[in-house]
A and B are shown apart, each in its own frame.
Chain A
Amino acid sequence: MSTAAKKKTAAARDADTDGEFWNLRLYVAGQSAKCVAAVRNLNAFCEQHLAGRYRIEVIDLLENPKLARDDQILAIPTLVRKLPEPLRKIVGDLSSAERMMVGFDLRPANP
């Protein structure tokens, strides 16, 4: 798994991310099915494509409701890519890795 991940990470780096550091923030609300799925899907995706150069911050809005306003969050779950620029938002449980790639302008590792 780790070798495969590394290989794919390398591919991704070669593609267009230039080894930038990814700062991701996932907004959830408690432990709903959608939120749990989103955390799981995001972790899997990052391990696969951005291993070693990402940071995931999971924010539970039930604990920090103020952040919903500050960060303009309506839908749950919402994933925000703070870095690299530009800021991107993806809503949903991130069940499709393919759509994530498109959403983050990542080229598929295995063409």
Chain B
Amino acid sequence: MAKTNGKGSIAKLPKALTGIHGLDEITGGGLPRGRPSLVCGGAGCGKTLLSMEFLVRGAVEQDEPGVFMAFEETPEELAANVRSLGFDVDKLVEQKKLFVDHVVLDTGQIEENGEYDLTGLFIRLGYAIDAVGAKRVVLDTLETLFGGFQNQAILRAELQRLFRWLKDKGVTAIITAERGDGTLTRQGLEEYVSDCVILLDHRVSDQVSTRRLRVVKYRGTAHGTNEYPFLIDEDGFSVLPITSAGLNHVASSERLSTGIARLDAMLGGEGIYRGSSVLISGTAGTGKSSLAAHLARESCARGERCLYFAFEEAESQIVRNMSSIGIDMRPLIKKGLLRFMAGRPTSTGLEMHLALMHRAIREFQPRMVVVDPISNLAEAGLLRDASTMLTRLIDLLKTEQITAVLTSLTTGAQREQTDIGVSSLIDTWLLLRSIELGGERNRGLYVIKSRGMAHSNQIREYLLTPRGIDLLDVYAGADGVLTGSMRLAQEARERADEEARAREADVRRRSSERRRAAIEAQIAALRAELEDEESAERRAQTGERERVARASHVRNEMARSRKADAVKGSSSNGRGSARTGARN
């Protein structure tokens, strides 16, 4: 219950959790336990609600009963006021977890005569504390006493005694006070309460009001010193310590499909990373919302909740428009997978938007958040504020591992720049651009960057069809990229070229065939000639051999007839005869 701030080993101040979302984070665990804290601020800035929530949450969540001493509102008014925030004061009173004492101070009715003190107040408070065993006390607004009694010296002495007394009682107390002119409180109560001072503020700038909270002082503890926006709504008080978000979130390596196969292919083949931030920027009418809707539908298809913040269109309008490209969101909404939060950015201040979004995210626990578009948020405040707010939003989403899909409307001159200047925070940046060519506007999709993956550097033509988004190759040539009917024309032209080329090749093939046939014929003729020559040669040789044989035969015959000496050997005879023949 009592949390130490953990910042150092020296000071470990016991603290009491307020249970108020965000406040415990800023103060590092709540208000100083057993000590009074001062909550100051102007009229209507939420002092009473903050302190009542402190008591209610203490009673319900921390099992620490509380006493509410109301100097301004009656218990009935009080109960009615906080009932709208979901606090059932009457029930807690019945359960003896809360004691409400209404102090009536009729300024005109009280005559002062001589010395007095405020023992009655101490007795009442003591009685109330004992009645429920209170660990927490709220005095709202103590300064009213200054209107009820005239003797300031007595009052101041008594207040000092009261704070000491509260400390002695060991109750964790909140004392509320009106903000004074140039001082924290009108009556200088901060002099008495030195441990913790919280300032609430309700400012209007540019006709937009923002509530802010600041821990002015917190003795012995490290605390956030910034002004934090806070929110009062049906769930009570929430403070948003968002600027404290650091860059220590875990980066997931899980990849999520975008719902468009070709886009996944462009993004390293697997799509975006879980918990990354995706920016879809583009000029008007380039299909940013449609792309965002695809991502949303894909998230729902995975069974993961998606929260869609629509700052431009109403829910029904988006649902209708998306059905025209084949995305039926109604069943997703019905199943509780998709939730819309639609509102004009100018309806509240930026801080409030952030607060509302923060709360909606906390409540709905989505895995994907779509903000459509972020560029409109700049309307609700200064540009610098808008980018600060977005930084905080993106940080928050990253910390929670929620995939962020942000759309941003850019004007023609700033194609590669977001109006709101958050591009450096973005992990995956898809640019939709309309390409004007041949009297048409067509859409092109670029992946400007995508951290941690090898993404495509090609432009794709982006078509919105009744079945959804279609990505097509675009023609990039000497004339630039071609899209739409130019692309179709180009396709036709290419087809014609292809056919022409095919025909040409055919012709070439045939002529080469013909040439080949001719050459082959020539080869055949030459071969025939060669064969003729060869056979002539053979014939000549045969004829010679026969002539030689005949000549030798004739010689032998002649020798026989001449009765010449017998031939000595056949071999020498043969040779001799040949020689003889040759001689003849």
Which residues of A pack against B, CB within 8 Å? 27, 29, 32, 34, 37-38, 41, 61-62, 65-66, 68-69, 72-78, 87-96, 99-100, 102-103
Q: Within 8 Å CB of B121, what residues of A?
A: 74-75
Whether B120 contacts A76 by the Cβ 8 Å rule is yes
A39 CB → nearest B CB, Å: 12
Q: In the complex, which of the residues A62, A66, A73, A90 contacts B112, with contact meaning CB atoms closer than 8 Å?
A: A90
Q: Within 8 Å CB of A41, what residues of B?
A: 114
Q: In the complex, which of the residues A37, A68, A89, A90 contacts B127, with contact meaning CB atoms closer than 8 Å?
A: A68
Looking at B33-41, B77-85, B101-109, B255-263, the stretch in contact with chain A turns out to be B101-109
Whether B123 contacts A65 by the Cβ 8 Å rule is yes
**Which residues, 112 to 131 on B, are CB-close (under 8 Å) to A?**
112-121, 123-124, 126-128
A83 CB → nearest B CB, Å: 16
B148 CB → nearest A CB, Å: 7
Whether B127 contacts A66 by the Cβ 8 Å rule is yes
Q: In this assembly, does B163 line the interface, its C-beta being within 8 Å of a C-beta of chain A?
A: no
Whether B111 contacts A76 by the Cβ 8 Å rule is no
Known: A68-B124, A69-B127. A99 touches B113 (CB 8 A): yes
Whether A37 contacts B114 by the Cβ 8 Å rule is yes
A25 CB → nearest B CB, Å: 13
How far, in whole Å, are A62 and B120 apart by their CA atoms in the complex? 9
Q: Within 8 Å CB of A29, what residues of B?
A: 119-120, 123
Q: In this assembly, does B110 line the interface, its C-beta being within 8 Å of a C-beta of chain A?
A: yes
Q: In this assembly, does B149 line the interface, its C-beta being within 8 Å of a C-beta of chain A?
A: yes
A28 to chain B: closest residue by CB: B119
B155 to chain A: closest residue by CB: A75
Size of chain B's interface in residues, with CB distance under 8 A? Answer: 26
Can you name 14 A-B residue pairings with CB atoms under 8 Å? A37-B115, A61-B120, A65-B126, A69-B124, A69-B127, A74-B105, A74-B121, A75-B117, A75-B119, A90-B110, A91-B112, A93-B113, A93-B114, A93-B115
* Most chain A beta carbons < 10 A, residue from B106, B112, B126: B112
How far, in whole Å, are A76 and B126 apart by their CA atoms in the complex? 15
B71 to chain A: closest residue by CB: A74
How far, in whole Å, are A94 and B116 apart by their CA atoms in the complex? 9
How far, in whole Å, are A50 and B117 apart by their CA atoms in the complex? 27
B105 to chain A: closest residue by CB: A74
Whether B117 contacts A76 by the Cβ 8 Å rule is yes
How far, in whole Å, are A53 and B333 apart by their CA atoms in the complex? 79
Q: Within 8 Å CB of B101, what residues of A?
A: 69
Q: In the complex, which of the residues B127, B148, B149 contacts A65, with contact meaning CB atoms closer than 8 Å?
A: B127
Whether A75 contacts B149 by the Cβ 8 Å rule is yes
* Most chain B beta carbons < 10 A, residue from A37, A87, A94: A94
A65 to chain B: closest residue by CB: B127
B124 to chain A: closest residue by CB: A68
* Most chain A beta carbons < 10 A, residue from B106, B112, B118, B120: B120
Contacts A68-B127, A74-B105, A91-B149 aside, 4 further interface pairs with beta carbons under 8 A come to A29-B120, A34-B116, A76-B117, A96-B113
How far, in whole Å, are A4 and B119 apart by their CA atoms in the complex? 36
Known: A68-B127, A72-B104, A74-B105. A90 touches B120 (CB 8 A): no
Q: In the complex, which of the residues B115, B120, B145 contacts A68, with contact meaning CB atoms closer than 8 Å?
A: B120
How far, in whole Å, are A76 and B123 apart by their CA atoms in the complex? 10
Q: In the complex, which of the residues A69, A87, A95 contacts B113, with contact meaning CB atoms closer than 8 Å?
A: A95
Whether B110 contacts A73 by the Cβ 8 Å rule is no
Known: A61-B119, A61-B120, A74-B105. A92 touches B113 (CB 8 A): yes
Whether B126 contacts A91 by the Cβ 8 Å rule is no
Whether A96 contacts B120 by the Cβ 8 Å rule is no
* Most chain A beta carbons < 10 A, residue from B101, B109, B113, B123: B113
How far, in whole Å, are A57 and B161 apart by their CA atoms in the complex? 29
How far, in whole Å, are A88 and B120 apart by their CA atoms in the complex? 17
Q: Within 8 Å CB of A65, what residues of B?
A: 123-124, 126-127
Whether B115 contacts A95 by the Cβ 8 Å rule is yes
Whether A75 contacts B118 by the Cβ 8 Å rule is yes
**Shortest Cβ-Cβ A-B pairs, 5 listed:** A92-B114, A95-B114, A65-B127, A93-B114, A103-B111
Whether A68 contacts B117 by the Cβ 8 Å rule is no
A44 CB → nearest B CB, Å: 13
Whether A89 contacts B116 by the Cβ 8 Å rule is no
Whether B115 contacts A90 by the Cβ 8 Å rule is no
A96 to chain B: closest residue by CB: B113
B117 to chain A: closest residue by CB: A76
Q: Within 8 Å CB of B126, what residues of A?
A: 65
Whether B124 contacts A92 by the Cβ 8 Å rule is no
Whether A99 contacts B111 by the Cβ 8 Å rule is yes
B109 to chain A: closest residue by CB: A89
How far, in whole Å, are A61 and B126 apart by their CA atoms in the complex? 11
B99 to chain A: closest residue by CB: A69
How far, in whole Å, are A20 and B120 apart by their CA atoms in the complex? 29
How far, in whole Å, are A27 and B121 apart by their CA atoms in the complex? 12
Known: A62-B123, A89-B109. A74 touches B115 (CB 8 A): no
Q: Within 8 Å CB of B119, what residues of A?
A: 29, 32, 61, 75-76
How far, in whole Å, are A25 and B44 apart by their CA atoms in the complex? 38
Whether A77 contacts B103 by the Cβ 8 Å rule is no
How far, in whole Å, are A102 and B149 apart by their CA atoms in the complex? 18
A29 CB → nearest B CB, Å: 4
A100 to chain B: closest residue by CB: B113
How far, in whole Å, are A100 and B124 apart by their CA atoms in the complex? 26
Known: A72-B103, A76-B117. A89 touches B111 (CB 8 A): yes
Whether B148 contacts A88 by the Cβ 8 Å rule is no
Q: Within 8 Å CB of B104, what residues of A?
A: 72
Q: In the complex, which of the residues B111, B116, B118, B149 contacts A88, with contact meaning CB atoms closer than 8 Å?
A: B111
A30 to chain B: closest residue by CB: B119
Q: Within 8 Å CB of A75, what residues of B?
A: 110, 116-121, 149
Q: Within 8 Å CB of B110, what residues of A?
A: 75, 89-91
